[in-house]
């Protein structure tokens, strides 16, 4: 899966997390979903570091990456990849910019409508998870993984080529997403782990616009 395709899946991705009661006792699926929806419903913006592994099933190849993601309500997002190649993917909710310094160019086009929905912004969509997904525990007999995270298995009610299934490992005290695994229609996967989250920090709108550096070529996005 190419990184740009991933960005289309994940953009808008991560608007989350206020605090919600967790508790050590076993939680029913309904209680866990209520906690997740409540946290996402209070989200205004988010910033986090991430590591990523994109696995292509047909090639049996995994490509690692890492960077920083910033998200804000209204379809605003900024993915800044530092490895393996520097790249910035920015949207103000109307325009999408993909800047690749090694090519000295920025691709520009209208932000796809998909970016505002659960396929393009699955984390933002979790504020109404039951509206967009069929939800269950990945393992009903053991809802939590070895790290204590609640693991959800989500199937979109309206699957798209870039989002056929989604698995989330969520810390059940504040409902912070620790890990997300996105499956496309060909069973390629993108696995992301999120670190150092800052929620509702008041990210400015100017963070979600892009001004090309001098000399950078502007190319319409196909």
- On the question of pLDDT at 120 being above 80, the answer is no
Considering the domain boundaries, does residue 180 fall inside one?
yes
Segment 40-74, tens digit of pLDDT? 788 889 899 999 999 999 999 999 999 999 988 88
Nearest by Cα to 10 from 108, 125, 101: 125
Residue 19: per-residue pLDDT: 32
Q: How many CB atoms lie within 10 A of CB 80?
A: 17
- 193 falls within a domain: yes
Q: Has residue 21 been placed in a domain? A: yes
pTM of the shown model: 0.80
Residue 216 resides in a domain: no
Range of the domain at 42: 3-199
pLDDT at 159: 84
pLDDT tens readout for residues 65-119? 999 999 888 888 899 999 999 999 999 989 999 999 999 999 999 987 656 554 4
Q: Is residue 159 part of a domain?
A: yes
Q: Do residues 178 and 191 touch, judged by C-beta distance below 8 A?
A: no
CATH of the domain at 49: 2.50.20.10
């Amino acid at each position: 899966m190419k990184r740009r395709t991933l960005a289309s899946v994940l953009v808008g991705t991560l608007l989350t997390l206020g605090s919600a009661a967790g508790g050590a006792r076993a939680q029913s699926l309904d209680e866990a979903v209520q906690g997740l929806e409540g946290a996402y419903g209070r989200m205004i913006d988010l910033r986090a570091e991430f590591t990523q592994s994109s696995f292509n099933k047909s090639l049996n190849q995994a490509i690692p990456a890492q960077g920083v993601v910033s998200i804000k309500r209204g379809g605003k997002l900024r993915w800044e990849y530092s490895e393996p190649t520097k790249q910035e993917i920015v949207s103000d909710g109307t325009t999408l910019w993909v800047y690749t310094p090694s090519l000295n160019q920025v691709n520009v086009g209208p932000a796809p409508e998909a970016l505002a929905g659960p396929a393009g912004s699955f984390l933002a969509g979790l504020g109404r998870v039951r509206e967009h997904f069929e939800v269950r525990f990945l393992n009903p007999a053991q809802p939590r993984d070895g790290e204590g995270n609640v693991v959800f298995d989500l199937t979109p009610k309206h699957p798209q080529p870039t989002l056929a299934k989604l698995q989330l490992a969520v810390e059940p005290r504040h409902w912070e997403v620790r890990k997300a695994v996105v499956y496309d229609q060909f069973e390629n996967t993108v696995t992301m782990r999120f670190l150092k989250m800052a929620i509702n920090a008041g990210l400015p709108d100017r963070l979600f616009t892009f001004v090309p550096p001098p000399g950078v070529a502007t190319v319409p996005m196909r």
